[in-house]
Amino acid sequence: MDFVTKEDQLKCLPSIPLDLLRVILKDLYFFETHYDLGFDWREYYEHSKILGCNLKPGEFEGALSALQVVVSWLLKNNRENSGKFTFHNILATHSSLEEDDINDLEADFDELLQTYPGYAMLKTGLQLVDVDWRAGITVATDSSSNINIPYVQLKLTFINPQTGCTSSNTLNLDYQTFAIFLKDVKKINGLLATYN
C-alpha cells in the first residue's frame, strides 16, 4: 500500500483542473497496462500552467507520481483482493478532492477497466489457443510506393478459461516487423524452455 506514504502528494490533486486530471488518469492507466508506452509529467505540467494551475513542478510531479502509485496498486490488486481499498476510498481518504470529482474520476477508472482490461486480462489467465496467418502482397493502395510490398496477417485467438469466452486480435505486419516478431517469439520460446 505505497499510496499511504504518498498522502501529502495526493493532497495536491485538487489544484489540478479536473478535465486535465481525467486525461492524466487515462494516460497513467495506459502507461501501467502497456509496457511500450511512456509517460512524461512535464507535458501535463505545461498544460496545467495554461489552465491556471499554480503548483510548483515538484509538487505537480509528486501528485502525478502518487496517482500513478494508486493506479498501479489497484491494477495489481483486483477488486476481490483490495478489500476497502477501492479507487473511491483511497482518494476520499488520502486526497482532499471533492466528492463529485472523486466520483467522476472513479467512473472514468471503471470505464477504463471495462474497455481496456489491461492487467485484468492477464489476471484471468487468458490462453492463446489458435494462431492463424496468411501472407500476401499489396496490389492496390492509395500510395504507389506501397504497391508490391509483402505483408503477413496474424489472427490470434484467446480463451478465458474461467468464462469460456473467446476473443481474437488481428495484426497486419510488414515483412520486417514480422521478422522481428518471429525473432522475439523464438527468444521467448528459449526463455520458457529454461523453466521446464
Note the pLDDT tens digit of each residue in 6-28.
888 999 999 999 999 999 999 89
Backbone angles phi, psi at 68, to 5 degrees: -65, -40
41-50 and 18-33 helices, crossing angle to 10°: 170
List the beta bridge partners of residue 46. none
Q: Are residues 115 and 132 in the same domain?
A: no
Q: Are residues 114 and 164 in the same domain?
A: no
Question: Could you give the CA distance from residue 46 to residue 43 in angstroms, rounded to a whole number?
Answer: 6
Q: What is the model's pLDDT at position 67? A: 92
Q: Are residues 43 and 63 in the same domain?
A: yes
Q: Which of 79, 76, 128 has its CA nearest to residue 106?
A: 79
- For 116, the domain range is 2-121
Q: Which of 85, 99, 98 has its CA nearest to residue 2?
A: 85
Q: Which three cell numbers stand for residue 54?
A: 499554480
In a 13 Å sphere around the CA of 32, the CA atoms on its Cβ side amount to 26
Q: Are residues 142 and 107 in the same domain?
A: no
Total number of domains constituting the chain: 2
Q: What is the model's pLDDT at position 123? A: 45
AA identity, residue 97? L
Q: What is the model's pLDDT at position 23? A: 92
Q: What is the model's pLDDT at position 187? A: 82
Given 61, 94, 121, which residue is the final one in a domain?
Answer: 121
Given 121, 137, 171, which residue is the final one in a domain?
Answer: 121
pTM of the model as a whole: 0.58
Residues in the chain with pLDDT values less than 50:
120-124
Q: Are residues 132 and 144 in the same domain?
A: yes
Q: Are residues 116 and 130 in the same domain?
A: no
Q: Are residues 94 and 159 in the same domain?
A: no
